[in-house]
Amino acid sequence: MTEVAGSAPRLPDAVRLRIDLAYDGSPFAGFARQPDQVTVQGTLEGALSRCLGQPVATTCAGRTDRGVHALAQVVHLDVDPSVAVAQRSLVDLLAGSPTSPELRRRIDGLVGPPITVWGVRRVPADFDARRSATGRVYRYRLVDADTAAPLERFDRWHIGVPLAIGPMRRAAAALIGQHDFAAFCRRVPGRSSVRRLDRIAISRPAPGRISVRLAGAAFCHNQVRAIVGCLVEVGRGGWQPERVAEVLAARDRRELARVAPPHGLTLERVSYGRRFPAAPMRVDEA
């Protein structure tokens, strides 16, 4: 914001905000707004509109399906600061502060318990929550013990039979690198299914628990859940590890094993290179 001698400070035409948030996907029909459905985007935009006194439209780092969770979702939006309500809400940002703890608290209070707003900050106009992202990490959690605790049924896939991690790791190795993941992606007309998968880490953090982390620049729709479904089929002995490479080469979705259910999946991290902080950006990091 610049000042001219003898006049009020001149407001910028628009202020771009970055919102870092997390959510429990259980009560939502996915991230993206939908008519007559409760969604993360619809809930967040409703809260933002109340705080800023104007309609808003957000762009996210990665849309999540119904029931999928996020620890590190990021959205951006442009705000017209000439609106009086917005001026009051953005007062610290317009004065030069990079973050707004007060606006964060207000939004967090309006979105309800299933959503946590980690932070609100002003960003340059060329920041794009989706296009500026250089990497994303998803985690899928599994329970292969006989039973699962009640709360675990909301964020883990309960398999109920022991899985062999060694064969799962051998199968996953064939997916590393840049490939056409057509067999693992829900087809979207006009969009490529070529993606680069940098890492798949399969670990057992505790008895009866398995964690599958997948890292890459970007993922197509259903890709992570389709991969996990195939790896589980290997782990339970229904497929040989080599079968996953054959499915990849076939580029035919009909060759898939079961697609893993959504509730075990969490968007865990979004990276923005050296220029912007990675998510999750917590309040104490602002």
Residue with tokens 């220029």: 275
Cα 78 to chain centroid distance, Å, stands at 20
- Looking at the DSSP bridge assignments, the partners of residue 140 are 212, 265
* 65 flagged as catalytic: yes
Structure tokens at 59: 């762009």
Catalytic residue among 24, 65, 146, 284: 65
d(CA 59, CA 100): 20
- Count of CB atoms within 10 A of residue 143's CB? 21
CA dist list (Å): 196 to 51, 64, 200, 213? 39, 19, 12, 15
Helices marked H in the chain — which ranges?
40-52, 84-89, 91-94, 101-111, 165-173, 223-235, 242-250
Which residue in 35, 38, 3 sits closest to 24, CA to CA?
Answer: 38
| Residues taking part in catalysis | 65
